Structure 1
C-alpha cells in the first residue's frame, strides 16, 4: 500500500517557505538574508523528497541539519542584535529541526515496514520475465 505524505512534511514545506521569505519582514540583506533564503529552499526540496518517498531518510536528515544550522545562524553570523531576524531564525530553525527529527523517526518506521518506499531499493527485473533471466 502506498503511503500518502506525512503531515509533518507538509508543515515543513510551509515553514521552509516562511524561512525563504523571512528576509522580507525583517529586512536582512547580505549573507544572513541570503542564507535564510537558501536554507528555506533546501527545506522545501527536502520536504518534497520526503513527501514523494516516505521511506527515504535523506530528506528528513537534510531538514534536521538545516533546522539546526538555521537555529545557530544568529550566533554564527552575529546578528543577535537584530531581534526580529534572530527570533525568526530561532523559531523557524527549531520548528524545522523538530519536524525533521519527527520525520526521521517516521521514515525509519516506514522503511522497515515497506522498503519499497525508500530510495535504496532497486530492482533489475524486466516485467514479464522470470527473475534470473538476463538474455533473450
Structure 2
C-alpha cells in the first residue's frame, strides 16, 4: 500500500461519510438530500477502491467527478436558497475533488513505481 497517500483515501472516506449524513444537520430531505447521500456513498466506494488498489487511477478520477458533481449539485437541483445545505455541498464537494486530484497524482506515481498496484499489469516495451 502507498503510505504517502493513504491519508487521502481515509480523508475521502471521512468526507464522503459527512456528505452522506449531511441531511442530519441541514435537514434537507427529498431529491437534493438523496443526491447528497448517493454522492457521499459513491465517494466512500471510490475511497475503498483506492485503498485496495493504490495504483488505479480510475477511483481517483471517480472521486474528482463525484466532488465536481457535489459542488454543482445546489445549482443543478435548485437548493441554493437553503444556505446550510448549499454550503455543505460546495465545501465538501471541493474537498472531495481536491483530495481526488492529489490522490490522482499519488496513484500515477505508485503505478509507475509498481505496475501491479493498478487494475491490470502493463508490459512496457512490447508491441
TM-score (norm 2): 0.91
- Using the alignment, how far apart are the partners of 1:3 and 1:32 within structure 2? 35
* Equivalent residue number for residue 69 of structure 1: 69
1:3 aligned onto 2:2:
yes
Aligned to 2:20: 20
Could you list the structure 1 runs, at least 4 aligned residues long, displaced by more than 4 angstroms after superposition: none
- Report the 3-state secondary structure (helix = DSSP H, G, I; strand = E; otherwise coil) of the residue aligned with 1:74: helix
Gapped regions of structure 2 (runs ≥ 5): 123-127
Counterpart position of 2:125: none
Q: CA deviation at 1:52?
A: 0.9
Q: Unmatched 5+ residue regions in structure 1?
A: 123-136
The structure in which a higher percent of residues are helix is 2
Q: 2:113 aligns to what?
A: 113
Counterpart mapping for 1:116-131 below 5 A? 116-121=116-121
2:79 corresponds to 1:79: yes
Q: Which has the larger radius of gyration?
A: 1
Mapped to 2, the partners of 1:41 and 1:121 lie a distance apart of 29
DSSP-derived class of the 2:97 partner: helix
TM-score (norm 1): 0.86
Distance 1:120 1:16 in 2: 27
Corresponding position of 1:132: none
Q: Which residue of the partner structure matches residue 33 of structure 2?
A: 33
Indicate the RMSD between aligned Cα atoms, in angstroms. 1.2
Deviations 1:26-67 (A, max 9, x none): 111111000100000000000011011100011101110000
Corresponding residue SS for 2:19: helix
* Counterpart for residue 54 of structure 1: 54
